[in-house]
Amino acid sequence: MDIDNPRAEQPAATLPAKPNFQPLKAHEISDGHVQFRKVTVPQHRYTPLKKVWMEIYNPIFDQMKIDIRMNLKKRRVELKTRTDTPDISNLQKCADFVHAFMLGFDVCDAVALLRLDELYVDSFEIKDVKTLRGEHLSRAIGRLSGKGGKTKFAIENATKTRIVIADSKIHILGSFLNIKIARDSLCSLIMGSPAGKVYSKLRAVTARAEML
């Protein structure tokens, strides 16, 4: 006796073809809306900005594919995405680059923010570490810089960072670990440690960090 197998009579179901989606462009991620960033220019950085404008403009416009302009009326740098912007994160990188220059970093140092992902700027004030006033504050700032900037340069070279001391505000540009080492050394100087003791501790910490 023959037994009919209803499954054998049905043709095998074919799966639909695998879709091939092209990667979205930067302007398509935000539904075609143009994204903006605005960086205010402080009064004391206006003249330096005019001198190095083309050094800031060329890497942002040519390499990162971001539109940039200076709004003279509102005194701020304005950035926006373009249709050919390869990555939406380029807009924030460019804003960080311009902001780092406004904080006082050189263009040749700040441009590393465009090329490396693990760099960022950390800022703090002397009063965040210790409350100092008058001549005590002036002496603390002097300890941070050292004679002719010797102490600041030594910390920068040992930790591979860049440091800007603007009155009582301190800005550090570098990677996370290097910023932590540099900040600990600066805090020790603010608290009153002699430079020689900070140097010896800095050498030990940097040697240990290179072994990791």
Per-residue pLDDT at 204: 87
* Residue 30, pLDDT above cutoff 80: no
Instruction: Give me the chain's average pLDDT, please.
Output: 87
Per-residue pLDDT at 7: 57
Q: Which of 46, 44, 45, 68 is nearest to 56 (CA)?
A: 68
Which pair of structure tokens corresponds to residue 118?
Answer: 């693990």
* Residue 201, pLDDT above cutoff 80: yes
State percent of the chain over pLDDT 90: 50
Per-residue pLDDT at 32: 67
Q: How far apart are CA 6 and CA 168, in angstroms?
A: 85
Per-residue pLDDT at 89: 87
Per-residue pLDDT at 20: 86
* Residue 50, pLDDT above cutoff 90: yes
Q: Per residue in 117-163, pLDDT tens?
A: 889 899 999 999 888 888 988 888 888 888 888 899 999 998 999 99
Residue-wise DSSP of 88-152: THHHHHHHHHHHHHHHT--HHHHTHHHH-SS-EEEEEEHHHH----THHHHHHHHHHH-GGGHHH
Given pLDDT bands bounded at 50, 70 and 90, which one contains residue 17?
Answer: confident
